[in-house]
Amino acid sequence: MTAAARIEFREHPGWGRGFLTLAGALGLLVLGGLGGAHVMESEGHWVTGMSNRIVWGTPHVFAVFLIVAASGALNVASISSVFGRELYKPLARLSGVLAVSLLAGGLAVLVLDLGRPDRLIVAMTVYNFKSIFAWNIFLYTGFFAVVIVYLWMMMEKRMNRFSKPVGTFAFLWRLVLTTGTGSIFGFLVARQAYDTAVMAPMFIAMSLAFGHAIFLLVVMAASAGTGRPLGDEVVRRLKNLLGIFLAATLYFVAVQHLTNLYIAERQGVERFLLAEGGIYTWLFWVGHVGIGCLVPIALVFAPATASSRGAAGLAAVLAVVGGIAQIYVIIIGGQAYPLVLVPGMEAAGSVLDAGIAPYVPSVYEIALGLGGVGLALLLATIAIKVLPVLPESLADVPAK
Amino acid sequence: MTGAATMELTRRALLQGAAATVVALAPGVTLLLGPAPSEARAPGTPVSAKTRWGLLVDVSRYAEVADTVVEACRTENGWTGHGRPLTDPQWVRNVTLNDPRTGAVRTLPVMCQHCEHPPCVDVCPTGASFRRADGVVLVDKHICIGCRYCMMACPFGVRFFVHENVTGQKPHAPRGKGTVESCTLCVHRLDAGRRPACVEAAERKSPGAMIFGDLNDPNSEIARAVGRHVALRLRADLGLDQGVFYKGLNG
């Protein structure tokens, strides 16, 4: 393989029907999201499935998924710049672009789900530095800045020599960022489903897997959509990495639940999530563990499907679906289990205390969440269209 | 009952009470006035950390006043619902706890516990959740962005997101759609030298069912009562040092 081979990056010429259709469809998703947010803000959150028991709903599932995936979308750029793998260099720019666009989509959902999104300026100017949320505001805005500078270093020839140190900085930043996102839950001492330090590394593993899955799908779609060849070797490496990241996610999930099972006061919430939780139990075992991890791991490593590009794409799709299921269980399932006011006593008399909290996502919440996905993909699509992000060819370079 | 208007504890009456006083309102009807929590705070005077407001609930007698307490809070602070229990606010709510081993049942009020180390204050990104020097935990409605992280962090489920438009607000208890609210310990009354509305209402019906006062004052009724009885706090394992105590929770 020729490491020194010159890579020609080029924007996508012309305004073909395919591009316009894709951009239009994604634009409609964004409009739907804005519509959902508008109803939620003007009517109040009572029109959603959220309540004073399920205070974070489906918008948070999408927002957290996109933010976590944003960090993981930077994998390929990091592997290229920080770990010096030349094979990934042609994909590094797309990796950075996708990281920025996914974060933008996730943050848009998060902000539009606030009770007072008009007070965003307050959130940006008034800080309580003891709050992990406040740290995350810096980590998120900082991630934008760091990755944009990183992209500049990669795309501007005179700056290329700085791409390794800046890439290393971005790599460390995204690790801290995902630690921060996981710690939003890890620091919640009140709830048995959270309150564990393993949330931070678990979210890092999740980010590696989800972001990588989305990246693989975007690379496949972009190469097909722009008519640029994509080599089998690139796909093989990417899908193998996806399998490893999914295995790492399963490992941390196992550690989290095994730890909780060992702690007597947490056996109730574990029984709920793993055995008796209805939709949450199904989403955990079938959605996350089965469809989201075991099946895609089998698809990418089993000899029968290991060399199939279709199987690699399917594995990535399943990883995304399973990832959303996992975050749904973490966020909604974790809240559905009642708070324990007095250990050993059962509460009754108030829907705020007794039993499993009901939750059905409303159409407004789903629209807002999908709007964030639409925004992320629309930004990436426009970037591929107007910026030299994709190389002219991703075909395998024969070894000399 | 005659002279309902005279039931209203006036500030003057409270300020007079250096010690518990029994006032005859009508034949057979007496009113027990507890000691006043403090002098009214003069405008411009900062809140002092010398005071730590606290509340002691006698669980064995609380059932008698349970509905009265909730109604008094609702009337005083103007929080009303829309018949949607999961999204309506309930600054104070009555919770029935059942011991599955013995079948013993307790009813107790659950409201903001006004923690010394409040998790809601720790997690609030803008500092809208804050703790006053005298131990009252409040929400600054002007900088609350409605992120609801405080509701995730509170172990007692006593914070409420305002899910819909509000009407009939009280000037002393502003509310706003899209922000979070909770029991203020009737801070407007405290600053005027009065006690929370729930405590006064409970006092009228069952004197001593709820005792309010300064935990830092060793001579206050509440400090003496907390010292004398086994008074527990909810989720004491979390070490949050709440201002709300429950007597008789364990038997």
**Tens digits of per-residue pLDDT, A96-115?**
999 999 999 999 999 999 99
Distance (Å, whole) CA B110 – CA B245 = 11
Query: Residue B95 forms beta bridges with which residues?
Result: B108
Q: Which of A84-93, A374-383, B229-238 has the highest mean pLDDT?
A: A374-383
Distance (Å, whole) CA B237 – CA B230 = 16
Query: pLDDT tier at A399 (50, 70, 90 boundaries)?
Result: low
Average pLDDT (A157-173) is: 90
Please list the ranges in chain B whose pLDDT falls under 70.
1-39, 251
pLDDT value of residue B251:
61
For residue A84, is it left (φ>0), alpha (ψ between -120 and 50) or beta? left
Q: HSE on the CB side for A271, CA within 13 Å?
A: 8
Q: From B144, which residue of chain A is nearest by alpha-carbon distance?
A: A116
Q: HSE on the CB side for A266, CA within 13 Å?
A: 20
pLDDT value of residue B33:
46
pLDDT value of residue A102:
98
| Average pLDDT value for chain A | 93
Task: Name the residue among A126, A133, A349 with its Cβ closest to that of B143.
Answer: A126
Test mutation, A131, A199, A339, chain B, max B CBs within 10 A: A131
Query: pLDDT tier at A161 (50, 70, 90 boundaries)?
Result: confident
Distance (Å, whole) CA A127 – CA A138 = 10
* Per-residue model confidence as pLDDT tens digits over B2-16: 344 433 334 334 334
Burial class of residue B188, CB neighbours in 10 A (0-12, 13-18, 19+)? middle
Q: Which of A179-183, A189-193, A220-224, A394-398 has the lowest mean pLDDT?
A: A394-398
Amino acid sitting at position A56:
W
Q: Is the pLDDT of residue A340 over 50?
A: yes
A264: contact with B, CB 8 A cutoff: no
Provide the chain B residues 174-193 that lie in CB contact (below 8 A) with chain A.
176-180
B95: contact with A, CB 8 A cutoff: yes
pLDDT value of residue B229:
83
A353: contact with B, CB 8 A cutoff: yes
Amino acid sitting at position B68:
T
DSSP alpha helices (H): ranges in B89-209? 119-123, 149-153, 187-190, 197-205
pLDDT value of residue A348:
82
What's the gap in Å between the CA of A357 and the closest CA on chain B?
9
pLDDT value of residue A15:
80
What's the gap in Å between the CA of B76 and the closest CA on chain A?
22
Q: Judge: B154–A188 Cβ closer than 8 Å, yes or no.
A: no
For residue A257, is it left (φ>0), alpha (ψ between -120 and 50) or beta? alpha
pLDDT value of residue A273:
97
What's the gap in Å between the CA of B100 and the closest CA on chain A?
7
Percent above pLDDT 90 for chain A: 82
Name the residue with tokens 């107790």. B108
* Per-residue model confidence as pLDDT tens digits over A54-70: 999 999 999 999 999 99
Q: Is the pLDDT of residue A39 over 80?
A: yes
Q: Quick check: A298 and A319 in contact, CB under 8 A?
A: no
* Per-residue model confidence as pLDDT tens digits over A247-288: 999 999 999 999 999 999 999 999 999 999 999 999 999 999
Average pLDDT (A173-186) is: 96
A357: contact with B, CB 8 A cutoff: yes
Q: Which of A5-14, A129-138, A234-243, A290-299 has the lowest mean pLDDT?
A: A5-14
A346: contact with B, CB 8 A cutoff: yes
pLDDT value of residue B42:
79
Average pLDDT (A163-182) is: 94
Provide the chain A residues 27-46 that lie in CB contact (below 8 A) with chain B.
41, 43-46
Contacts of B143 in chain A (CB under 8 A): 119, 122, 126
Tokens of A218: 């975007």
Q: From B233, which residue of chain A is nearest by alpha-carbon distance?
A: A342
Tokens of B136: 């009252």
Percent above pLDDT 70 for chain A: 98
Q: From A39, which residue of chain B is nearest by alpha-carbon distance?
A: B164
pLDDT value of residue A2:
42
pLDDT value of residue A4:
46
Average pLDDT (A217-232) is: 92
- Nearest residue to B209 (alpha-carbon basis) of B108, B136, B92: B108
Amino acid sitting at position A348:
A
Q: Is the pLDDT of residue A355 over 70?
A: yes
- Nearest residue to A345 (alpha-carbon basis) of B57, B103, B246: B103
Distance (Å, whole) CA B135 – CA B47 = 10
Q: Judge: A350–B149 Cβ closer than 8 Å, yes or no.
A: no
* Per-residue model confidence as pLDDT tens digits over B13-48: 433 433 334 444 555 454 444 445 556 777 778 888
Query: pLDDT tier at A344 (50, 70, 90 boundaries)?
Result: confident
Q: Judge: A115–B82 Cβ closer than 8 Å, yes or no.
A: no
What's the gap in Å between the CA of A339 and the closest CA on chain B?
7
Amino acid sitting at position A267:
Q
